[in-house]
Amino acid sequence: MSSKTIPRRAVFCVSDHTGVTVEALARSILSRFEGVDWVYLVRSFVDTDAKASTVADEIVRIGGRLDDRPIVFTTLINKNLEKYVDTADALVLNTFSAFLPPLSKELGSLPSRDIGSFHGMADSKGYQLRLDAVDFTLSTDDGVNVHHYDRANVVVIGVSRCGKTPTCLYLAMHYGVRAANYPLTEEDLVSPRLPAALENHIDKLYGLTIDPVRLHQIRQQRRPDSPYASLDRCRSDIERADRLFRTIGMTPTDTTATSVEEISARIVKSMKLGDRPKV
C-alpha cells in the first residue's frame, strides 16, 4: 500500500432550491475521478444576494483549509447570484449554463428565471401518487395486510434483513410504486413451496437475496448472539430461500453490494413499472 496521503478537496453544491439534484450530479461525475477525498458541502436555498455572498465567503474560507481550491457545482440561474460565487478562487461549473443555450435554441424560447418554478410540485398528481404509495408500502411492510396485495404493483420477497423494507420505501417515494414486502420466515421455508399469501400474486413477486456472512453481520447488530443472527441460521435461511426462488423460476437480486437505489431501478426495469406520472 502506498503511504501517500490522498488530497482532500471541497465540493460545494450551490442551489437556489434544495440542492438535491446538483449534489447527486456532482457525486456522480466526481466518482469518475480517483485519488481525491471529496468533501461535499451542500448550500441550499441560496436565493438572495446576502446568501450568495455568504456562500462565496465560505468557499474561500473552507477551500483554503483543504489541499486544493474547491470545485463548485451550481444551479443558479440568476446571474447576479452567480456573480458572487464566480469571485471565489474555485473551479465553478454551472449546470444550467451548460444546457440552457442548446435547449433555448431547440425550443425557440427563453427559460423562466423564476426560482420558484419547482415550488408547486407538492400539488401535482404525480406527487400525491408517491405519497399514497409510501402509505401503501408502510401499511404492508413486513408481511402485514397481505389482503392488500391486489393493489400492489410489486411484492418484494426475501429472508429477514436482506433489504426489503428500504427498497420498497425507495420504490414508493421515488417512483410512486406501491411496493409491499413479505418476509420468508422459517415456517414459510420448511417446504420449497410458495407461502399461501403469495400464491395468487406470482406475477408481482420480486426476490432479494444476500450473502450469508453479510446477513449474519446485519442480524448481529439487530439481535446480538441470538439463534436468529447465527451464521448457521443465516446460511440455512438463504439456502432455503434460494431453493424456493429456483422452484418458482425466479432469479433473485443479490443486495450484498448493491444499493437500494440500484435494486429499485432494477425492479422498476424488470417489472416494467417505469414511465409512470411523477414530479
User: What is the smallest separation between the CB atom of 186 and a copy of itself, expressed in angstroms?
Assistant: 22
> CB-wise, 32 or 196, nearer to a copy of itself?
32
User: What is the smallest separation between the CB atom of 80 and a copy of itself, expressed in angstroms?
Assistant: 17
Fill in the DSSP letter of residue 209: E
User: What is the smallest separation between the CB atom of 134 and a copy of itself, expressed in angstroms?
Assistant: 5
> CB-wise, 236 or 254, nearer to a copy of itself?
254
Judging by beta carbons within 10 Å of its beta carbon (0-12, 13-18, 19+), is residue 79 exposed, middle or buried? Answer: exposed
The amino acid occupying position 56 is: A
Distance of CA 84 to the CA centre of its chain: 32
> CB-wise, 174 or 248, nearer to a copy of itself?
174
Instruction: Give the separation between CA 155 and CA 211, rounded to whole angstroms.
Output: 21
Instruction: Give the separation between CA 250 and CA 245, rounded to whole angstroms.
Output: 5
> CB-wise, 173 or 248, nearer to a copy of itself?
173
User: What is the smallest separation between the CB atom of 247 and a copy of itself, expressed in angstroms?
Assistant: 27
> CB-wise, 36 or 66, nearer to a copy of itself?
36
| Residue 92 parent element (H or E) | strand 91-94
User: What is the smallest separation between the CB atom of 191 and a copy of itself, expressed in angstroms?
Assistant: 31
Distance of CA 221 to the CA centre of its chain: 23
User: What is the smallest separation between the CB atom of 41 and a copy of itself, expressed in angstroms?
Assistant: 6
Instruction: Give the separation between CA 260 and CA 244, rounded to whole angstroms.
Output: 23
Q: Cell match 435494486: residue? A: 263
> CB-wise, 83 or 266, nearer to a copy of itself?
266
- DSSP per-residue codes, 212-275: HHHHHHHHHHHSTT-GGG-HHHHHHHHHHHHHHHHHTT--PEE-TT--HHHHHHHHHHHTT--S
